[in-house]
Chain A
């Protein structure tokens, strides 16, 4: 298929349709609106359903019902709305239902702003709602990667029977880039013999997250964490850029990673051995990969559009064996290439000294 020029938010919608998603439940919020707008038009064309719910709370519970009924289903929102969805997300993780949740992040806390941010990292990777659980979190850095990861998100959700979050930001959502979609719309979806569709010719199925006996609930928690362990083993994804000999490694994800890449290029031109490590899965965090990327590193720099959230996973992954510094802009302000370059350059001069 030929490339088409598309906005990130719309590309997410088309990618979901091609991945066989037929149900969308959501509530309007900036800066993700182009995604529901697109699907409101597109889903009925392929026999699917777009339904605007009365709130994010209702939307995520509709997703729960539809996922439990065996459908490929998604919702999308931005920060403020994702917070409201957290009750339902915890139930979905507890009941082990597959679905995809898109968060096009904006600045917070509270109503915050409507400009791009990465300040929902903790909420996304640590669980976000109540109880011991994790989402599988994917962080695209281009419109093409939004398309590729959207398809992967549905497959991973089914594979692990776990909610998957695609964590983007306002820049990616609004940006137009040429993209290529898979030529065929996926028709064959995995069988879901556990789904509730009327117990025809079989015993009843139950979708549930309630375990009143402590022994049973503990067992359930262990089972969930066994899934997360498998994800850590099999699903981590990351991109390395000039890390082979890098003495200063920048760690950044999403649109910030693209700015960081340009800053690495600037540094390389100045003879600084800089590189970029970009986690694509934020949960599970690519721990082994970052250690490889930092094999020659003397300094690590985390760059985020937050006050410093991913940096905690960077430090944990490196077991604090390297100095890790931070540069961030918040509130919808975006780091400039020059500013990131300046940080890299300062760290290069420091060499192996503690930051």
Chain B
């Protein structure tokens, strides 16, 4: 019998707590597959954020640290500096990374910290009840922007990938999405490139992944995937914003 599909070694057998149609689970799986394929399961330390993925340590079959809200890049820095030969990644939501942890992510990138960041942008605060995130789109209704985000009051959504790509220490920065199969495959390739960038000692790497939150968007899983495609991708264009040419080749 040929096995064509199985659980990656880097995932545990625990049932994930994510809502139906939430793409956090897909992203976990992609990260785990990449770690397996690069044979890094026993050489990797992950850092989970505060947000819906706070319990990611229950799902990754890896050494893990749970960080304070927004501080994952600083925690990852501490780990990487102690074990430079290990692979260290941080998994962060948009509130975690782009709001409360804005300073930590910018400076980790500026230092060229040899860590990889999986940045899950779902344009909302999932865990705390659908509040406005720094990535919430103009006009998007949330529990703290009930009439839609108004630029005059709440300012503009942050394009994290573009911003971090301006920093010298950033070696690989890209934005992908997981709203359909084609994009899932591309997302995995980007995650792999980020890890390879780290393995090759090139510098800081980050993959921004557009992700759905059907629960707080008030949409079905299928509607959510469509909404992402129609609303998020126009404002958050997909692609590589920075890449060291020779990586992974």
Contacts and interface: CB of A to CB of B under 8 A. Distances in A.
Asked if A pairs with B, the answer is yes
Interface of A: 23, 25, 49, 51, 53-55, 57-59, 61-71, 73, 87-88, 91, 95, 196-201, 204-210
A55 B78 contact: no
Interface stretch (B42-50, B152-160, B166-174, B216-224): B42-50
28 contacts: A49-B81, A51-B81, A53-B74, A55-B103, A62-B74, A62-B78, A62-B81, A64-B68, A64-B74, A65-B77, A66-B81, A68-B65, A69-B45, A69-B79, A73-B78, A73-B82, A87-B68, A196-B65, A198-B44, A198-B87, A199-B41, A201-B42, A205-B64, A206-B63, A207-B65, A207-B66, A208-B65, A210-B55
A65 B47 CA distance: 9
Contacts of B64: 196, 204-208
Interface in B50-87: 54-55, 57, 60-68, 71, 74-83, 86-87
A55 B105 CA distance: 12
Q: Give the one of B60, B61, B77, B107 with max A CB within 10 A.
A: B77
A200 B79 contact: no
A66 B42 contact: no
Contacts of B57: 206, 208
A65 B42 contact: no
A134 to B, nearest CB: 19
Contact of B42 (A51, A61, A200): A200
Nearest to A91: B68
A244 B78 CA distance: 49
Contacts of B83: 69, 197-198
B240 interface: no
B63 A61 contact: no
B104 interface: yes
Contacts of B104: 54, 57-58, 61
Contacts of B81: 23, 49, 51, 62, 66
Interface of B: 41-45, 47, 54-55, 57, 60-68, 71, 74-83, 86-87, 103-104, 106-107
Contact of B75 (A23, A61, A199, A210): A61
Nearest to B65: A207
B143 to A, nearest CB: 22
A196 B45 contact: yes
A206 B45 CA distance: 10
A74 B224 CA distance: 46
Contacts of A65: 47, 65, 67, 74-80, 82
A62 B83 CA distance: 13
Q: Give the one of B54, B75, B76, B107 with max A CB within 10 A.
A: B75
Contact of A204 (B54, B63, B79): B63
A197 B45 contact: yes
